[in-house]
Structure 1
């Protein structure tokens, strides 16, 4: 299949490598094209995972083809995979919107309800292409870049609950995506997919309750020393709020409770059983986290957690833990964390009643 990968982060490097190794025709674009220079000049991407070390060609022949123009990169793609942070969605959506065509599927892993942002950008660009936007609850990879030409993948997703916007395209979109990511599983719609996002549940308690060591030590592993029982209890309470919101909206199980991420004997989570140990054993998450600029704050708190809180308000479901974490985050950063760009209010959806929301999620924007 012809697949375009967008972005230059950890997930994009892992996606380009895996999809090329799986015999897909991969085009690759990132906004800072000059940053690709070391990789293009070398012509090889080093990959390390549970299978060992190997190299993937980046040469435009049988290997990954790097593009400098976004329109050229996506022109022939059937599926466009964009593992970029949610705070980059608005600008990327505007750039991408004029280039999309009928039948394409844009995959946002994870999305934080970015499907609506991309679909709105297509409408605002005057592009009448009928495009499906899909999003899931996590990156397909536990991955970290090591320099410009190497990526280490500690784990691969085994289950990817995925919702589609508009939901009328679900069968077609998931059919294509399953050829690229066989782990995809059907969620009811894009909001259901957004409410599977694990980042806004895992990361806000970990960074805010580890604020002292994060600021004191040159590096700190929030997933190893930073994951203590008291913090896990907060995470569990926050996840219970997420599940309560999903249930109030009529979404069915499995809800992928985060507790399964931490156990070896529960239901299989998105990265399989004992995924937490794979992550901590790698050592790649011992890092320097700036509480005001790191994506755990700018993406998972100010976008993802703010979205959850806003949907709770809309559905009249109390979310006191989410609201409290947002208040703490605002005190830390000096920004209004609860008023992010992805709330129902900021998306212009807070006025919708339940039937109107369901129609919107199924039909999308009217051209």
Structure 2
């Protein structure tokens, strides 16, 4: 299958090499031309995983977005949520009818990107899908090398608009056989593990993060008290899901840590895979890191706004969002990805469900 991967981060590089090795024709686009030079020159990415080290030749690595997108059945965008709006504007004139755009994860970016495309006059009829996590546990060593330490075994995925689900899953399963259909894109957005895992980890480890040169929040930073906050925050997520009519399985975060029982997105014992080695040590600037700008400002702010829209108390989420706002010096409840800022707060639940089913007609968005 012809597949486009957009991005230059851990997930994009992992997707490009993994999908290529699975027999697909993969084109990779990255905005940063200077950092992309090695890959463009060699048309290849180096990968390290349990099979060893090797070089994988891509069909195309380019900074020409139209060239990379043309003719692709599937467009995979494993980019931080903060990039979705600007990227959608770049895609307006290059998308083609029938293409499936996959956001792993999405943070309800399927709706946001569709809204931007409509507002910008995009004529292509495309379908969005989003899931709860990256399909890979991966880290880049440098601008040409990625390490893959795990692959998702379950990818709960929702489609926007829902009525196009059959087409979307027919395409998605060719590339990601572990996708599991769920109700719609909001169902998929509320599977996102990042806004549950990362806000407690960065905020409750803020002192060590700022003090030590190296501090692995997934290893040393994951202690009993933080796990307790994870559990309470995840219960708020599940309460919101249930209020919106989304059924189990909810993929509770506890299953990420368990060695047996219900299989989580990366399989049993996923947390042990995560902390096995030093791939997960990385510089973490609290004001700019994606855990703050994506998982807090987008994901956690969205969860808080949904709770308020549904009139469901979410004290843990609200408390963490307030602390994060104080750390950064920005009111994420006002500036983040919220029902208000997405222009959805005035809708009823029935109106929201109808929109999730049908999508956004050109006359609806102003």
The TM-score range, normalised by the shorter chain, is over 0.9
Whether the aligned pair in 1 keeps the contact of 2:40 and 2:62 (CA below 8 Å) is no
Whether the aligned pair in 1 keeps the contact of 2:39 and 2:61 (CA below 8 Å) is no
* C-alpha distance after superposition, 1:290-334 (max 9, x if no partner): 111111000000100001111111111111000000000011110
1:312 aligns with: 307
The yes-or-no answer on 1:303 pairing with 2:303 is no
**Secondary structure of the structure 2 residue equivalent to 1:28:** strand
Q: What is the RMSD of the two structures over their aligned residues, measured on CA atoms?
A: 1.0
1:241 aligns with: 236
Whether the aligned pair in 1 keeps the contact of 2:43 and 2:59 (CA below 8 Å) is no
Out of 224, 239, 253, the residue aligned to residue 248 of structure 2 is 253
> How many angstroms apart in 2 are the aligned matches of 1:95 and 1:269?
35
The count of aligned residue pairs is 362
1:24 aligns with: 24
Whether the aligned pair in 2 keeps the contact of 1:165 and 1:364 (CA below 8 Å) is yes
> How many angstroms apart in 1 are the aligned matches of 2:359 and 2:49?
39
Out of 140, 145, 153, the residue aligned to residue 150 of structure 1 is 145
* C-alpha distance after superposition, 1:157-210 (max 9, x if no partner): 010001111111111101100101001011111111000000000000000000
Whether the aligned pair in 2 keeps the contact of 1:86 and 1:112 (CA below 8 Å) is yes
* C-alpha distance after superposition, 1:324-347 (max 9, x if no partner): 000000111101122344211100
1:140 aligns with: 135
Whether the aligned pair in 2 keeps the contact of 1:219 and 1:289 (CA below 8 Å) is no
> How many angstroms apart in 2 are the aligned matches of 1:342 and 1:328?
17
How much has 1:77 moved relative to structure 2?
0.4
Runs of 4+ in 1 over 6 A off after TM superposition: none
The yes-or-no answer on 1:293 pairing with 2:288 is yes
**Superposed counterparts of 1:99-114, under 5 Å:** 99-114=94-109
> How many angstroms apart in 1 are the aligned matches of 2:12 and 2:109?
17
2:205 aligns with: 210
**Secondary structure of the structure 2 residue equivalent to 1:18:** helix
How much has 1:266 moved relative to structure 2?
2.2
Whether the aligned pair in 2 keeps the contact of 1:98 and 1:122 (CA below 8 Å) is no
Whether the aligned pair in 1 keeps the contact of 2:101 and 2:127 (CA below 8 Å) is yes
1:11 aligns with: 11
Whether the aligned pair in 1 keeps the contact of 2:137 and 2:149 (CA below 8 Å) is yes
2:163 aligns with: 168
* C-alpha distance after superposition, 1:237-292 (max 9, x if no partner): 00000000000000011100000000111211000010100010131112221111
> How many angstroms apart in 1 are the aligned matches of 2:337 and 2:162?
19
2:190 aligns with: 195
> How many angstroms apart in 2 are the aligned matches of 1:304 and 1:236?
17
**Secondary structure of the structure 2 residue equivalent to 1:91:** helix
- Greater Cα offset, 278-287 or 226-235: 278-287
How much has 1:136 moved relative to structure 2?
0.4
Out of 206, 209, 231, the residue aligned to residue 226 of structure 2 is 231
Whether the aligned pair in 1 keeps the contact of 2:43 and 2:61 (CA below 8 Å) is no
Whether the aligned pair in 2 keeps the contact of 1:302 and 1:339 (CA below 8 Å) is no
> What TM-score does the superposition give when structure 2 sets the normalisation length?
0.97
How much has 1:42 moved relative to structure 2?
3.6
> How many angstroms apart in 2 are the aligned matches of 1:43 and 1:350?
46
Whether the aligned pair in 2 keeps the contact of 1:205 and 1:234 (CA below 8 Å) is yes
Whether the aligned pair in 1 keeps the contact of 2:114 and 2:360 (CA below 8 Å) is yes
2:40 aligns with: 40
Give the gaps of 5 or more residues in structure 2.
Answer: none
The yes-or-no answer on 1:72 pairing with 2:67 is yes
Out of 118, 122, 131, the residue aligned to residue 117 of structure 2 is 122
**Secondary structure of the structure 2 residue equivalent to 1:254:** coil
Whether the aligned pair in 2 keeps the contact of 1:97 and 1:118 (CA below 8 Å) is no
> How many angstroms apart in 2 are the aligned matches of 1:171 and 1:340?
35
1:60 aligns with: none
Whether the aligned pair in 1 keeps the contact of 2:233 and 2:317 (CA below 8 Å) is yes
1:284 aligns with: 279
How much has 1:43 moved relative to structure 2?
4.2
Give the gaps of 5 or more residues in structure 1.
Answer: 58-62
